[in-house]
Amino acid sequence: MEPAILIGLLAAMLRLATPLLLGSLSGIWAERSGVVNIAIEGMMLTGAFAGYVVAERLLDAGVFDGDGTGHLWIGVLAAVMVGSLLGLVHAFWTQRFRTDQIVSGTALNILAVGVTAYALRLVYDVGGSTKLPETLPAILTWSVNGKDGPVGVSFTPLMVLAVVLCLLTHVVLFRTPWGLRTQASGEHPLTLTSLGLSVLATRYVNMAISGGLAGLAGAFLTLEGIGQFNEGMTSGKGFIALAVMIFGRWKPLPSLAAACLFGLADAMQIFLQTLGVEVPAEWLQMLPYVLTLVALMGLMGRSRPPAALGQVS
Amino acid sequence: MVPAVALEGITKIYPGVIANQDVDWTLEWGQIHALLGENGAGKSTLMNILYGMTTPDSGRILLEGREVLIASPSEAIRLGIGMVHQHFQLVGTLTVAQNILMGMEPRRWGLVDTAAAHERVRALADRVGLPIDPAALVEDLPVGMQQRVEILKVLARDARILIFDEPTAVLTPQEIALLGQVMQRLASEGKALVFITHKMREVQAVATHVTVMRAGRKVGVADPRKATAAELAALVVGRPLKAPPDAPASEGGAPLLRVENVSCRSSRGLEALSEVSLEVRAGEIVGLIGVEGNGQSELVEVLAGLRPVTGGKVLLAPRSGGTHVDLTRATPRARREAGIGHVAEDRLRRAVLKPWSIADNLVFDRFHLAPYARAGRLDHAAIRERGANLLARYRVKAPDAQTAVGTLSGGNQQKVVMARELDDRYHVLLIAQPTRGVDAGAAESIHDEMRALRDRGAGVLLVTNELDELLALSDRIGVVYHGEIVAWRARGTVTREELGRLMIGGRMTGDLGTPA
């Protein structure tokens, strides 16, 4: 195969893996502390929306000019904050009112779809949004000359940040007192109670972090990806991120590898389509989802979730 | 001398139950103070008050003469009170050091300083004489070692008053002996120890003082070095207990259950049983004992149909007599239909559903049969009636048969299981740890029911960690070691000491009995 094609595939893989990695980290923070978070999808979508709207409004109001990236970064911040807020809502419902964690998560997902669609019309009067003139630019680009001109891999800021956060999650989870508390909260919360440490506080903080990471994944989609917001644009990435987390056995570093694998599957289907393979596009588009199912089937019984996951304290 | 702890006039009332009524109690430094009482007598409530898990409705707590308010476990820890919980409060996926130092880890640049943590645990372990590997994962440790982690966790927080809540319930006899030495060493260092237990032998072995509670009140104190086990038990139950009948071993009738060369693997995939053979005859109780993890639990699971065999046969004689049927690959339900009952070792996982009522729990093995099911519909009246009858017969302490099993004490839950399984529907019973966490009075009635069942011609296979129980009930005793039955002894021909030796592999020449 021509190197340019491989590089193109690599670039697509990194771009597609980033939101999955951030989503899986979001899942790890929540589930390691004992809270099931199936609302990653909704948090991602809301984050994508909030990030886009804030950036676009700031630009429109002339606070920032289109040449800089200040408005984009404030958008990223807004996405993280909105995600965190939703994380806290999930924590509040499930811990304070002991709502079933799947029910609360499902409610948040449905809410996110409705609220973002409604707010989009409220702000713009249309079902789609205009494209931002710029998205977050690459920090580093590595390109080679291919048959049809130069092909390159761009390393964008949130992509790099995602990897840094993955390493950070690893260190915090396994090497800091807070990480040990988180693990205890997910495995055997009574341990904390019997030592006079608060399970509730642990879970609230972790859910805020979990939501923030999902929001950041959303910001990646709008502010570093396509530069605009479309209804339901996450299209199941939050759920695939959960599969990535399970495939990565609730650990950050294996989840990084898993995210790359899933990203590659997604990149492959796009690549095969452009290659004009004699297979209906719909079949190719199934690839990442089929991989999700196969991966989860292959892992049945071998991957062990935190013991107290989903239990009411 | 000012006592370490003085409780004055403690009263605690839960809706409908007086847990503690006007209890005065003192604990001195250097004491090992046993708290005795039946399930629900108020021992645990009293200790929960001392540990800040609940607050008394009235009464005072004096710590070294100073009145204190203990509103939470963290407050209790700060005051130097520690509890070794019956159900270990440990995180299995973390290491020994991480568990012991949870919330007080030595740090370096914000990270846990693992080397320093291991050093601290090692130093602590050496100082108190409880050596342990700080880097081991807790879930890989045997139960006795896990308890050691629990004790070290409490000592690491500088506890001077230690509460042990039924510390020996899940330990093997060897581990119990070791724990006794540890407790005596701690007391000799001047710490004050309290322990809740049901086992009189342990009280006599380690306790220096005894307080007995009944129905929320303190009913007496005793000197464990002077009182006999029978006297202590009588004080607990409020009436003298019968001595176990000293009947000669039952010869047994026709073989009901025949196990032939059965092998199986453990959950970890290792060989758990290798070619075990035994017979359970009509009208006998066959007792098996071994250090935990030697295959006796797996044997019961194999016979109940919960674990596949890798070789061998399980044969059962039908109730009506006749030739044995091969049940080696039968489902658990088919085995029950054929007449095998099962009292599971892990009560909460395999024997009861906590949120369900007593009545419903009592028909788990027969809800699909008449009179409890008619034409595919449950007959709730019949289920309720059975519940009410068995509740009374087994003296389960509950308002009525509609009470959720989860709200009962462990001992009363076990009575429910026994009531369901010790039934004439079964002519062979597999009974594992029948009195774990059960008080002396209830244990006596469970033992009586087991003997009655035997005398009606049933065959019982008993697996227990309690030497006293084993010796009191079994007509024949088999010792399990490394997946094999290494010795057989008839009732009355074996001492506790000899059993203890056999259990740890002390196989002597000429010592091997033949099965059956």
Q: In chain B, which residues have their Cβ closer than 8 Å to the Cβ of A192?
A: 102-103
Q: Which one has a higher pLDDT value, A98 or A43?
A: A43
Q: In chain B, which residues have their Cβ closer than 8 Å to the Cβ of A197?
A: 74, 102-103
Q: In chain A, which residues have their Cβ closer than 8 Å to the Cβ of B77?
A: 195-196
Q: Give the up-direction half-sphere exposure of residue B302: CA atoms within 13 A in the CB hemisphere.
A: 33
pLDDT of chain B, 516 residues: tens digit per residue? 788 999 999 999 887 778 899 999 999 999 999 998 887 788 888 999 999 988 999 999 999 999 999 998 889 999 999 999 888 899 999 999 999 999 899 999 989 999 999 999 999 999 888 889 999 999 888 878 898 999 999 999 989 999 998 888 777 777 888 889 999 999 999 999 999 988 888 888 899 999 999 888 888 888 888 888 778 888 887 777 777 666 777 777 889 999 999 999 988 788 999 999 999 999 999 999 988 788 999 999 999 999 999 999 999 999 888 889 999 999 999 999 999 999 998 887 889 998 999 999 999 999 988 889 988 899 999 999 999 999 988 888 888 899 999 888 777 888 899 999 998 899 999 999 998 878 778 888 889 989 999 999 999 999 998 888 999 999 999 999 999 999 999 988 888 888 888 887 765 433 443 333
Tokens standing for residue A112: 């996110």
Tokens standing for residue B425: 């529907």
Q: Residue A309 in contact with residue A186, Cβ under 8 Å?
A: yes
Q: Residue A152 in contact with residue A9, Cβ under 8 Å?
A: no
Among the partner-chain residues A188, A190, A196, the one whose CB lies closest to the CB of B72 is A196
Radius of gyration of chain B, Cα coordinates, nearest whole angstrom: 24
* Residue whose C-alpha is closest to residue B294's, from B428, B142, B166, B146: B142
Q: In chain B, which residues have their Cβ closer than 8 Å to the Cβ of A190?
A: 89
Beta carbons within 10 angstroms of residue B480's beta carbon? 24
| Claim to verify: residue B125 and residue B75 sit in the same structural domain | yes
pLDDT confidence bin for A299, thresholds 50/70/90: low
Helical spans, DSSP H, in A61-194: 70-91, 101-124, 157-175, 177-187, 189-194
Q: Which CATH class is domain A3-298?
A: mainly alpha
Amino acid at A218: G
The pLDDT value recorded for residue B86 is: 81
pLDDT confidence bin for A235, thresholds 50/70/90: confident
| Claim to verify: residue B62 and residue B145 sit in the same structural domain | yes
* Residue whose C-alpha is closest to residue B380's, from B371, B392, B389, B393: B371
Contact B83 A194 (CB under 8 A): yes
Is residue B125 included in any domain, yes or no?
Answer: yes
Is residue B473 included in any domain, yes or no?
Answer: yes
Q: In chain A, which residues have their Cβ closer than 8 Å to the Cβ of B100?
A: none
Is residue B226 included in any domain, yes or no?
Answer: yes
| Claim to verify: residue B143 and residue B210 sit in the same structural domain | yes
Contact B102 A197 (CB under 8 A): yes
**Mean pLDDT value of segment A169-188:** 95
pLDDT confidence bin for A280, thresholds 50/70/90: confident
Among the partner-chain residues B77, B92, B107, the one whose CB lies closest to the CB of A196 is B77
Q: In chain A, which residues have their Cβ closer than 8 Å to the Cβ of B114?
A: 175
| Claim to verify: residue B215 and residue B268 sit in the same structural domain | no
**Least Cα separation, residue A63 to chain B (angstroms):** 39
Dihedral sign, CA of B62, B64, B69, B72? negative
Q: Which one has a higher pLDDT value, A181 or B512?
A: A181
Is residue B44 included in any domain, yes or no?
Answer: yes
Question: What is the tally of helices (H) and strands (E) in chain A?
Answer: 12, 2
Q: Please enumerate residues of A whose Cβ is less than 8 A from a Cβ of B.
A: 171, 175-177, 180-181, 183-184, 187-188, 190-197, 307
CATH number at residue B279: 3.40.50.300
The pLDDT value recorded for residue A39 is: 95
**Least Cα separation, residue B338 to chain A (angstroms):** 32
| Claim to verify: residue B210 and residue B329 sit in the same structural domain | no
Beta carbons within 10 angstroms of residue B26's beta carbon? 16
Q: Give the up-direction half-sphere exposure of residue A292: CA atoms within 13 A in the CB hemisphere.
A: 19
Q: Residue B10 in contact with residue B59, Cβ under 8 Å?
A: yes
Q: Residue A189 in contact with residue A199, Cβ under 8 Å?
A: yes
What gap in Å lies between CA B411 and CA B414, rounded to an integer? 5
Among the partner-chain residues A176, A188, A191, the one whose CB lies closest to the CB of B112 is A176
The pLDDT value recorded for residue A305 is: 84
| Claim to verify: residue B233 and residue B259 sit in the same structural domain | no
Instruction: Please determine, for residue A128, whether its predicted confidence score (pLDDT) is greater than 70.
Output: no
| Claim to verify: residue B260 and residue B208 sit in the same structural domain | no
Tokens standing for residue B18: 């007086």
* Residue whose C-alpha is closest to residue B382's, from B359, B406, B351: B359
Tokens standing for residue B56: 């008394």
Contact A196 B91 (CB under 8 A): no
3 state DSSP class of B68: strand
| Claim to verify: residue B272 and residue B328 sit in the same structural domain | yes
Q: Model pTM greater than 0.90?
A: no
Kindly report whether the peptide bond that precedes residue B371 is cis, defined as omega within 30 degrees of 0. Answer: yes
Q: In chain B, which residues have their Cβ closer than 8 Å to the Cβ of A195?
A: 73-74, 77, 89, 102-103, 153, 157
| Claim to verify: residue B276 and residue B306 sit in the same structural domain | yes
| Beta strands B192-196 and B209-214, pairing class | unpaired
DSSP 8-state code for residue A226 = I
The pLDDT value recorded for residue A301 is: 58
> Residue holding tokens 């000019």?
A65
Q: Residue A271 in contact with residue A287, Cβ under 8 Å?
A: no
Radius of gyration of chain A, Cα coordinates, nearest whole angstrom: 20
| Claim to verify: residue B301 and residue B261 sit in the same structural domain | yes
Is residue B174 included in any domain, yes or no?
Answer: yes
Q: Which residue of A has its CA nearest to B84?
A: A194
Q: Which one has a higher pLDDT value, B146 or A130?
A: B146
- Mean pLDDT of the residues in chain A: 88
pLDDT tens digits for range B95-151: 999 999 998 999 999 899 999 999 999 999 998 888 899 999 998 888 788 989 999
Burial class (CB in 10 A: 0-12, 13-18, 19+), B116: middle
User: What ranges do the domains of chain A cover?
Assistant: 3-298
Kindly report whether the peptide bond that precedes residue A189 is cis, defined as omega within 30 degrees of 0. Answer: no
Q: In chain A, which residues have their Cβ closer than 8 Å to the Cβ of B102?
A: 180-181, 184, 191-192, 195, 197
Question: Range of B495's domain?
Answer: 255-351+424-503
Q: In chain A, which residues have their Cβ closer than 8 Å to the Cβ of B76?
A: 196
* Residue whose C-alpha is closest to residue A166's, from A178, A174, A177: A174
Q: Which residue of B has its CA nearest to A305?
A: B93
What is the layout of strands, in order, in the sheet containing B271-281? B271-281, B255-265, B311-316, B325-326
**Least Cα separation, residue B310 to chain A (angstroms):** 21
3 state DSSP class of B325: strand
Tokens standing for residue B336: 């029950």
The pLDDT value recorded for residue B509 is: 38
The structural domain count of chain B equals 2
Q: Please enumerate residues of B whose Cβ is less than 8 A from a Cβ of A.
A: 72-78, 83, 85, 89-94, 98-99, 102-103, 105, 107, 110-112, 114, 153, 157
pLDDT tens digits for range B441-482: 888 888 998 999 999 999 999 999 888 899 999 999 999 999
Is residue B357 included in any domain, yes or no?
Answer: no
Dihedral sign, CA of A203, A88, A127, A55? negative
Q: Residues 6 or more apart from B138 whose CB is under 8 A from it?
A: B90, B91, B92, B93, B94, B95, B96, B99, B146, B149
| Claim to verify: residue B130 and residue B169 sit in the same structural domain | yes
Is residue B339 included in any domain, yes or no?
Answer: yes
> What is this model's ipTM?
0.84
Contact B91 A184 (CB under 8 A): yes
3 state DSSP class of B489: strand
What gap in Å lies between CA A5 and CA B46, rounded to an integer? 73
Q: Residues 6 or more apart from B514 whose CB is under 8 A from it?
A: B488
* Residue whose C-alpha is closest to residue B500's, from B203, B178, B251, B142: B178
Is residue B382 included in any domain, yes or no?
Answer: no
| Claim to verify: residue B145 and residue B222 sit in the same structural domain | yes
